[in-house]
Amino acid sequence: MSNDATRIETVKGDSAETGQPKFMASVKPVPRDICERIYAGWDGETLPTPPAVSTIRPFEKGDIFLGCTYLNNPHDNHAGVGRIVQYDRNFQYKGVLWIGFTSHLIVHLRFSPDGTLWGCDCQGHHIVQVRPSGALLPETRFADVGLASPCFLSDGTILLADYFKGNTPPPGTCIRAIPGTDGLIGQGKLYRFSADGRILNEWTPETAPEPFGFKGITHMTLHPSEEYVTYTTETGKRVMRFNIRTGTQMPDLKVCPGETRPFEMDRNWAIAVAYLRDGRLLLTRGETVEVLDEAGGVLREYQLPAYGWAMIQPGIDQKSFVTTNFFTGMMAKVCMETGAILGTIDSGTGVKDTPKGVVPRLGLAGVAEYPG
């Protein structure tokens, strides 16, 4: 893992001219007509795709699931065939679920209280639900918005957050616009839904400035009290909180030092968040994972190989965590007591150095461990 991760880190290092990762320098916006064809199911040229035969098995305690879309569209580096890959507790491959109705990355894998696995294609406005039997459920349309970060309350309602904000998708990929707007890709809102998809509450929490200019509430986690959520705007400086009982903004839990300017790329920022049952917060920072107390103090920090750890969930024992690296395509399970990496999975995605140059195939975007 470390050798490959070091190579990729060198390839993707900052550009002195722009401050952007080097592979971004040659990435262009995707034309609107191409985006529309992708949302409609794509009828053009694709890179090779394996036979889409699902082999997912009934879930067993300790199984690890990766949201890992099979990227096969030459025009969009986040688009392809929806895919969730299943591994056993020993990090060995078990099966795969192919998803026919999504268009882009499957992010934020999480289990609801009844054991259903959820995932979100926030770029294409789809929610994925998979029963513990391995059966893919018919799609429930919660809202025609880029929803992600499902959080499940004890009364059966569901929180989902608008991943995007503004009118400008990043280069290299498409984001479906909200219907009835002039190209608006998101508003950074927070929604509370009934189990059948009815909107019960709609709030507009604060979001943080970030260098790329298209993100809203990108990562969100529910505090064990169910009184508030803690969330980030990925690559922003703030770890924010919003009270869902009163509908009011709370003081930030943490603010990372430094300024946020376009393409400053100081990497001193907040990325993914996840609560442990005792109220401690896991926070990924790119190359490290922090454990915060309820006042925002750092209790522990874990150094991980390479930069790019962008998703995190607690392990089912609450003594470990699982996290994924968007750039290297690696998953790691880490012991919180010792900091040891207990196991890894190579998803086969990431920023790849090829004879034709650096190719971003950024498919790994979700992880969860089945509690049983």
Burial (0-12, 13-18, 19+ Cβ within 10 Å), 61: exposed
Q: Does 17 score more than 80 pLDDT? A: no
Beta bridge partners of 190: 161, 203
Q: Reduce the DSSP state of residue 353 to 3 states and report it.
A: strand
Q: Does 51 score more than 80 pLDDT? A: no
Q: What is the pLDDT of residues 199-236, one digit of tens each?
A: 999 999 999 998 888 999 999 999 999 999 999 999 99
What pLDDT band is residue 16 in, cutting at 50, 70 and 90? very low
Q: Does 37 score more than 50 pLDDT? A: yes
- DSSP letter, residue 35: H
Query: What is the value of pTM for the model shown?
Result: 0.91
Mean pLDDT of the chain: 89
Mean pLDDT to the nearest integer, 350-366: 69
Q: Does 310 score more than 80 pLDDT? A: yes
Interatomic CA distance for residues 102 and 90, integer angstroms: 29
Q: What is the pLDDT of residues 176-195, one digit of tens each?
A: 999 999 999 999 999 999 99
Among 25-39, 128-142, 161-175, 221-235, the least confident range? 25-39
288-292 and 298-303 beta bridge pairing: antiparallel
Q: What is the pLDDT of residue 26?
A: 63
Q: What is the pLDDT of residues 257-296, one digit of tens each?
A: 887 665 456 788 999 999 999 999 999 999 999 999 999 9
Mean pLDDT to the nearest integer, 247-261: 89
> What would be the CATH architecture of the domain defined by 2-369?
6 Propeller (2.120)
Q: Does 248 score more than 70 pLDDT? A: yes
- Domain residue extents for the chain: 2-369
Q: What is the pLDDT of residues 100-119, one digit of tens each?
A: 999 999 999 999 999 999 99
Q: Does 22 score more than 80 pLDDT? A: no
What pLDDT band is residue 25 in, cutting at 50, 70 and 90? low
